[in-house]
């Protein structure tokens, strides 16, 4: 690529300036320098040039064009389809290249939306030290940056655990209303009634089983008089 750029610069004349029409989508690079966003027309000196189109979610493509006084350059660079893994790599590259906090927040949000996650752990190298921080798709977003020492994976993931829900306190117990008993509901009265019934039942059973003892029949009832005892 470097040799192509150098050869294009050496072959480029300085007699005049023409244009290159770039058709496609992405960032436009002419001879290794970014000049704008496609589609559009860009100034270029007469001669041979190399045009590239790059972008976060497009396949990088290039074309060699010639610009002359009689003819403008034409660079039509169609976008090639990217696979899902390639898109993930592009999103990760954009995140790693983000410098300010706003750009980093936008980059990780785009990556999280694409892979459909709401929480993430971001590992990075700062001043030669491995650091980590968590990110949520809701406030506060990024956590404080911490140096990775002996923190295990579980220790890191604990910081992403949702807070323990605080349930409503149990309502105070309501004492049962005091119901005044009637006289026949008192235990001692009911016990007396039960005892009476039991005695009556036993007495009835004994009375039913009672039999008169047998007596000798005395045919001569005349001899029986007042005070006489039958035999």
Q: What is the pLDDT of residues 154-175, one digit of tens each?
A: 777 777 776 666 666 677 777 7
Percent of the chain with pLDDT over 70: 64
Whole-number Å distance between alpha carbons of 189 and 12: 124
Q: Are strands 47-54 and 73-76 parallel, antiparallel or unpaired?
A: unpaired
pLDDT of res. 121:
85
Q: Residue range 45-73: average pLDDT? A: 90
Provide the token pair at 178.
């005091």
Whole-number Å distance between alpha carbons of 200 and 161: 75
Whole-number Å distance between alpha carbons of 229 and 206: 29
Whole-number Å distance between alpha carbons of 86 and 90: 6
SS3 213: coil
Describe the crossing of helices 101-115 and 84-97 by its angle, rounded to 10 degrees.
Answer: 160
C-alpha dihedral sign at 14, 17, 21, 27: positive
Domains in the chain: boundaries: 2-76, 84-158
pTM of the model: 0.52
Q: In sequence order, what E strands does 92-221 have?
A: 119-126, 129-136, 146-147
Contact call for residues 106 and 88 (beta carbons, < 8 A): no
Per-residue pLDDT of 73-102, as tens digits, reads: 898 998 878 889 989 998 998 988 888 888
pLDDT of residue 231 exceeding 50, the answer is no
Whole-number Å distance between alpha carbons of 231 and 224: 10
pLDDT of res. 195:
64
Whole-number Å distance between alpha carbons of 114 and 42: 33
């Amino acid at each position: 690529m470097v040799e192509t750029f150098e050869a294009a610069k050496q072959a480029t004349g300085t007699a005049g300036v023409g244009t290159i029409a770039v058709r496609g989508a992405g960032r436009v690079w002419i001879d290794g320098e970014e000049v704008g966003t496609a589609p559009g027309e860009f100034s270029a000196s007469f001669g041979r040039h190399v045009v590239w189109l790059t972008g976060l979610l497009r396949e990088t493509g290039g074309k060699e064009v010639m610009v002359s006084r009689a003819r403008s350059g034409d660079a039509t660079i169609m976008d090639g389809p990217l696979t899902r893994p390639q898109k993930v790599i592009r999103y990760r590259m954009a995140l790693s290249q983000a410098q300010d906090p706003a750009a980093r927040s936008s980059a990780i949000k785009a990556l999280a939306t694409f892979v459909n996650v709401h929480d993430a752990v971001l590992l990075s190298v700062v001043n030669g030290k491995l650091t980590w921080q968590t990110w949520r798709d809701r406030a506060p977003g990024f956590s404080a940056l911490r140096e990775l020492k002996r923190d295990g994976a579980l220790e890191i993931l604990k910081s992403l655990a949702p807070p323990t829900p605080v349930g409503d306190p149990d309502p105070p117990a309501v004492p049962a209303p005091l119901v005044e008993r009637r006289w026949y509901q008192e235990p001692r009265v009911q016990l007396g009634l039960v005892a009476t019934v039991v005695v009556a039942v036993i007495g009835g059973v004994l009375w039913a089983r009672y039999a008169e003892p047998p007596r000798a029949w005395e045919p001569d009832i005349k001899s029986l008089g007042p005070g006489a005892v039958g035999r």
